[in-house]
Amino acid sequence: MSTFQAPKGTYDLLPPNSATYLAVREAISAPLRNSGYGYIETPGFENVELFARGVGESTDIVTKEMYAFETKGGDRLALRPEGTASVLRAALEANLHKGGNLPVKLWYSGSYYRYERPQKGRYRHFSQVGAEAIGAEDPALDAELIILADQAYRSLGLRDFRILLNSLGDKECRPVYRAALQEFLRGLDLDDDTRRRVDINPLRVLDDKRESVRKQLTGAPALGDYLCEACKAYHEQVRELLTAAGVAFEDDANLVRGLDYYTRTTFEFVHDGLGSQSAVGGGGRYDGLSEMIGGPALPSVGWALGVDRTVLALEAEGVTLDIPAATAVYAVPLGEEARRVLFGQVTALRKAGIATDFAFGGKGLKNAMKSANRSGARLALVAGERDLAEGVVQLKNLESGEQTAVPLDAVVDEVRRTLG
């Protein structure tokens, strides 16, 4: 055992479980790749100010959870706690928005970091797949992203999730609501940190999960009552498009989400089988974020889905993904000449696109066949001196036990035929 262990609140992905995580990432990204979204990858750390401005200085992410540090050169950097600000920064830096082909549609996958109290479904290092559509204000774009996320989850076999939907208004109607909400919240019995949050971003108080706060929020002004006509019409179009697409959702007037940059459409995917950490993903529209980080006005919308929590949701529903074995054929040489010949066959099979492994380390027949079975291979190639003298290898079906002599120059074709 190593002297060192993974840091608290983190985890290692190891086979065979890691195959499930890869399959989840593939399933989430597949609808995006089929809908005009191109892949983007950003650094694991960024300037602290990018997140302070974009995510919001009043959020727990910035005030309590961000891994910030100073470099030897004096730069203030932070491990990325979320993906949207980094993706938008990269798109602006590369002038992707200046090509005239808006929206710029991007998807990404990677690790993110928050200093949180570790618990099941909430880690200090976690994995997400995200999507951003930058540079267009169109309810069809909001609906598209929600539909693609729904499609991804259903392709995995998930059924017991719900989509919560709300509108947070815009720069025209939100200030009026903000003032009314602040007046209400200032009359409550709140701690000093929460009172400071009332002054900076009162909507974040609505997202407070503490029972001592939640029970006081009864009777708080409802954002829906303050939406301007334009925001109401926009939100209704999103709802109509989702309904027409057959995507079920629930209106949730209290849905705020934890980031300051959201405007208008906001949504969350929740799974009731996960207990307190029920959110498996979410997102919304962030029309002012580009300007917050020094860019031009670029209305945008996006989401991020948690890979870790999606895996937990699959487990909660008892869904087992059909993941092909990493190895289809396992080669077992008996003797030095057989090692040379079979290694050549392994290389040929791999070039033909057939997943093949080899009994390394000079294992005896018994141990090598145990390894073949543990690998999940369907076929074993076995050869000894007598087989080579006859110009054949033995092809053994590990499921049925049937064994056939195959000429050396026909191995690839016979393996392909047998595997179908």
pTM summary value: 0.89
Contact 107, 144 (CB under 8 A): no
Cα separations in angstroms, 48 against 35, 127, 328: 33, 20, 47
Nearest CA to 84 among 54, 53, 45, 64?
54
- Give the pLDDT confidence score for residue 326 in this predicted structure: 87
Contact 121, 308 (CB under 8 A): yes
Query: Using CA atoms, how far apart are residues 218 and 37, in angstroms rounded to an integer?
Result: 42
- Give the pLDDT confidence score for residue 110 in this predicted structure: 95
Instruction: Provide the token pair at 49.
Output: 């100010």
Residue 197 phi, psi (nearest 5): -65, -35
CB proximity list for 220: less than 8 A, separation 6 or greater: 181, 184, 185, 206
- In the predicted model, residues of the chain with pLDDT beneath 70 are 1, 54-61, 63, 258-260
CB proximity list for 70: less than 8 A, separation 6 or greater: 76, 77
Residue-wise pLDDT for 273-288, tens only, equals: 887 778 999 999 999 8
- Give the pLDDT confidence score for residue 139 in this predicted structure: 98
Residue 122 phi, psi (nearest 5): -140, 105
Query: Using CA atoms, how far apart are residues 34 and 27, in angstroms rounded to an integer?
Result: 11
- Residue 326 DSSP code: S
- Give the pLDDT confidence score for residue 262 in this predicted structure: 83
Sorted by where each begins, the domain ranges of the chain are: 17-173+227-317, 329-419
> Which residue(s) pair with 397 in the sheet?
379
Burial pattern 233-264, b for ≥16 Cβ within 10 A else e, equals ebbebbbebbeeeebebeebeebbbebbbbbb
Query: Using CA atoms, how far apart are residues 73 and 149, in angstroms rounded to an integer?
Result: 41
Residue 34 phi, psi (nearest 5): -85, 0
Residue-wise pLDDT for 358-394, tens only, equals: 999 888 899 999 999 999 999 999 999 999 999 999 9
- Give the pLDDT confidence score for residue 258 in this predicted structure: 60
Cα separations in angstroms, 283 against 1, 84, 255, 259: 41, 10, 11, 9
Domain 17-173+227-317 in this protein, CATH class: alpha beta
Residues of the chain with pLDDT > 70: what percent? 96
For residue 303, give the 3-state DSSP assignment. strand
Pairing of strands 104-113, 125-134: antiparallel
> Which residue(s) pair with 106 in the sheet?
38, 132
- In single-letter form, the type of residue at position 113 comes to Y
**Axis crossing angle, helix 17-33 with helix 307-317, rounded to the nearest 10:** 110
From the options 3.90.76.10, 3.40.50.800, 3.40.50.450, 3.30.413.10, give the CATH code of 329-419.
Answer: 3.40.50.800
Q: Do domains 17-173+227-317 and 329-419 have the same CATH topology?
A: no
Percent helix, strand, coil in the chain, to 5, is 40, 20, 35
